[in-house]
Amino acid sequence: MDDIFVLMLTTRRSFISSLTAAALAPRALGANDRVQVGFIGYGLIGSQHVHDFKGLNDVDLAAMCEVYKPRLEEGLKACGPRAKGYRDFRRLLDDKDIQAVVISTPDHWHAPLAMLACAAGKDVYVEKPMTLFVSEGRRMVNAARRYNRVVQVGAQQRSGVHYSNALKRIHDGYIGKVHTARLGYFRNVMPGFGSPPNSEPPKGMDYEMWLGPAPKRRFNKNRSIYHFRWFWDYSGGQMTNLGAHEIDIVQWVMGVKGPQAVSSSGGRLALQDNGETPDTQDALFEYPGFTMLWSHREASRGRDEGSGLEFFGTKGSLKVSRAEYDVFADMKIWPENQIPTFSGMPVGGPVRRPDDKPQPWMDAVKEQASNNLLASHARNFVDCIKSRQRPVADVEEGHRTATACHLANISLRLGRKLRWNPEKEEIVGDAEASTYLNRPYRKPWDDALKDFS
């Protein structure tokens, strides 16, 4: 540990002292310039990113960093023979040939790696959820602005042409005034992922580096590869995993910085395993002029009603997914004619209109997806590296989205409603809940990251 501590001190000092004027004011690349990209993490989404960036004709897959040796070898093979391999991300960040990094690690590493990469003069594509806790988000925004870096968050739906068109329809008032958004994800993975005993890490895994700033724990198969997302030390469960995608679209479409209040209930009620995050969760987010409801179930798919994302307006609704969007028209019917008649309305009650001929408020519309979201998101990132423009899913937006997710989880864990000031980024009138906005980093990483506090 002493050697690691010295390395971290040296790395932090070298990051700060080695920043040059070029790093602080990056040169805009020409359209024909090639971008050298390094990848940190080669898991499920990391391998997809390698595939997508490999399809860009102005990108070189220059490096791969992975703490699990078998995955490092697999990732290098996918990147091609010229890619350099690293077990320690600090050596990749020291590589002056690398201009940008793609971070696809477990969630607890997202913000620390992104901030250190910004300080090292790299542009950053970081997967969602952008943060593990709320205060990391503002630190990330500050780091991106301080070092003039492009930081794209993996909110790939923003790069969908049909998502942009859906946004325009809503902004044009096509479905009327939007007052509700419903979001959900349902599946049945009973009985869960088991409860394996603690053990030694698999051969070839640098488990100490995998843990990084997270609390020291014995290795457990479920707390590591893929299943890390069901444990609070490393993630926020399905709320931050899948909820982040849909919440991001709602806040983007509605043009809001965050909710004013959040209440959430649920827990790990059904799955029979050693996971911690909720398998059942319902959350209500209150915004000025509209509400948003998220639900997920891991132990019953049912009829799947309420899954995906649907905006409800005064003329009908718009449901959007990665495959398409559909507009469903409500019928224009006199309010009096929608009251049940039973055996007839007594004298003095509302009078039905006999000439009522129901008509749709607008035409039903459907639009299929016309582009590859992940490939287009990668393209936007590379284009912004060259132009130095803000990307479609900028770090500020990623922070706002992650914050809403974290607030829902805090509400669930404390069992009460939270009031939030999105301008000041403060929980109002709840000192205990406010302590959840920040977490300590484990030594020696707390020292390595203190410049971003």
The verdict on 51 and 187 lying in the same domain is no
The verdict on 25 and 125 lying in the same domain is yes
The verdict on 321 and 227 lying in the same domain is yes
The verdict on 390 and 417 lying in the same domain is no
The verdict on 289 and 381 lying in the same domain is no
The verdict on 306 and 387 lying in the same domain is no
Q: Are 15 and 112 in contact (CB under 8 A)?
A: no
Question: CA 409, 323, 238: angle at the middle one, nearest 5?
Answer: 15
DSSP E strand boundaries for 344-387: 359-360, 365-368
Q: Is 111 exposed, middle or buried (0-12, 13-18, 19+ CB in 10 A)?
A: buried
Q: Are 155 and 128 in contact (CB under 8 A)?
A: yes
Q: What pTM does this model have?
A: 0.93
Domain that holds residue 59: 2-159+375-394+438-452
The verdict on 16 and 60 lying in the same domain is yes
Q: Locate tokens 């399905």: which residue?
A: 238
Q: How far apart are CA 261 and CA 265, in angstroms?
A: 14
Q: How far apart are CA 237 and CA 405, in angstroms?
A: 10
The verdict on 266 and 136 lying in the same domain is no
CATH number at 51 reads 3.40.50.720
Radius of gyration for the chain, computed over Cα atoms and rounded to the nearest angstrom: 24
DSSP H or E stretch at residue 261 = strand 261-267
The verdict on 311 and 182 lying in the same domain is yes
DSSP E strand boundaries for 18-58: 35-40
CATH number at 311 reads 3.30.360.10
The verdict on 33 and 176 lying in the same domain is no
Residue 269: other Cβ atoms inside 10 A: 12
The verdict on 153 and 239 lying in the same domain is no
Count of H helices and E strands in the chain? 15, 18
The verdict on 179 and 271 lying in the same domain is yes
Give, for all 453 residues of the chain, the pLDDT tens digit: 344 444 444 545 554 444 434 455 555 666 679 999 999 999 999 999 999 999 999 999 999 999 999 999 999 999 999 999 999 999 999 999 999 999 999 999 999 999 999 999 999 999 999 999 999 999 999 999 999 999 999 999 999 999 999 999 999 999 999 999 999 999 999 999 999 999 999 999 999 999 999 999 999 999 999 999 999 999 999 999 999 999 999 999 999 999 999 999 999 999 999 999 999 999 999 999 999 999 999 999 999 888 899 999 999 999 999 999 999 999 998 888 888 888 888 888 888 888 778 999 999 999 999 999 999 999 999 999 999 999 999 999 999 999 999 999 999 999 999 999 999 999 999 999 999 999 999 999 999 999 998
Domain count along the chain: 2
DSSP H or E stretch at residue 191 = none
